[in-house]
Amino acid sequence: MVAALKDKLGRTIEYLRLSVTDRCNLRCVYCRSEDDCPKARELPPPAFERIARAFAHLGGKKIRVTGGEPLMRRDLEEIIERIARIPSYRDISMTTNGHGAARRIAGLKNAGLMRLNFSLDSLKPEKYAAITGGGNINEVFEGIDRALEAGLTPIKTNTVLVRGENDLEIDDFIELARLRPIEVRFIELMPIGKFGEDASKHIPSDELVAARKHLKMLPQEAAQPAVTYGIDGYAGKIGFIRAVSHRFCDTCNRIRVTSDGIVKTCLGDNSETSLLPALRQDDSTLIRVLEEAIYQKHSGHHFDDGYQSRRNMNRIGG
Ligand code: SAM
């Protein structure tokens, strides 16, 4: 049994969000800036496996593959398969925009993927295309349907709420959970990138919950950022990720590693540690560098004090 790894504030760190690419086939307004041209700075599958093994050695139990868009990588199944060989990971999930997902669901499941989150920012095809810079909403729903059939559950949808863009669709999103056993989640817009720095676009989750008395708070799972609600007679659940209006930094259990091998221990802080020199050395060096970076994990995000992120979300791994 591996001992739990604690940072200098005593928080147990066991969740890794691993970005496998900074490329994306979409350009969501809140995520990538106009002038962002990813340079495909990507590690090969064996390097991701080494990082995942080092994290497992330190007590890692949970891993989410993200990006950019992970499906942009042709060798994604190999990356997942290598991670799934590591016995410590009891939860291997992925966040995707769903484009091209349907035909790869079986292969991803065979590789060891356990569950999926789909980003979905509007239910109106034209609006969806506008927010995502050309996305096709049918691709998302086909992906969700195939993933449900394959049992890659629980499936969650992620909607970044932006005032003036998709806030009038909230009740339509909630309706998705009436018949489908999915968790429909609303994410507060984070001040990452130019778009998110505009305070007039932010919507605090409490405002939405207060206006919907039929939402019944469910027992909350430990170390989950989403506050979840049920509705009588609905198959699915509703979740709110309130990272901006309610900080959960003191229970944060995660770190991020970017597709080019940089550790970011906090989404709302610009400190970074490169794993590249350690990746050129043996596993014990890699473990030591990762352990030190985790120990120094930043105490909390700076979203409420004029934070300006040096990277857009596609270059961090959301
Ligand atoms: N391409 C995949 C996707 O679309 O889900 C994975 C990467 S995307 C960067 C991961 C998540 O980050 C998405 O759910 C997206 O909505 C979220 N995200 C990106 N920028 C954000 C922002 N400024 N505020 C809040 N969430 C954001």
Could you read off the pLDDT tens digit of each residue along the chain, which spans 318 residues? 667 899 999 999 999 999 999 999 999 999 987 777 666 679 999 999 999 999 999 999 999 999 999 999 999 999 999 999 999 999 999 999 999 999 999 999 999 999 999 999 999 999 999 999 999 999 999 999 999 999 999 999 999 999 999 999 999 999 999 999 999 999 999 988 778 888 899 999 999 999 999 999 999 887 778 899 999 999 999 999 998 888 889 999 999 999 999 999 999 888 999 999 999 999 999 999 999 999 999 998 888 887 888 888 888 887
Record the pTM: 0.96
Q: Which residues line ligand 1 (CB under 6 A)?
A: 24, 30-31, 66-67, 69, 95-97, 119, 158, 160, 187, 189-190, 192-193, 196, 313-314, 318
Question: Is 208 strand, coil or helix?
Answer: helix
For the record, the structure tokens of 220 come out as 């909350």
Predicted pLDDT at 40:
64
What is the Å distance from ligand 1's center to 218 Cα?
25
Residue 151, exposed/middle/buried by CB under 10 A (0-12, 13-18, 19+)?
Answer: exposed
Predicted pLDDT at 303:
84
End-to-end CA distance of the chain: 30
Predicted pLDDT at 3:
74
| Beta strands 226-230; 237-241: pairing state | antiparallel
Question: Is 86 strand, coil or helix?
Answer: coil
HSE, side-chain direction, 13 A CA sphere, residue 16: 34
What is the Å distance from ligand 1's center to 81 Cα?
24
Collect all residues with Cβ–Cβ distance below 8 Å to 206 and sequence separation of at least 6: 242, 245
Predicted pLDDT at 51:
98
- Give the ligand 1 atom nearest the CA of 119: 5
What is the Å distance from ligand 1's center to 67 Cα?
9
Residue bearing the CA closest to ligand 1, atom 21: 31
What is the Å distance from ligand 1's center to 31 Cα?
6
Residue bearing the CA closest to ligand 1, atom 10: 318
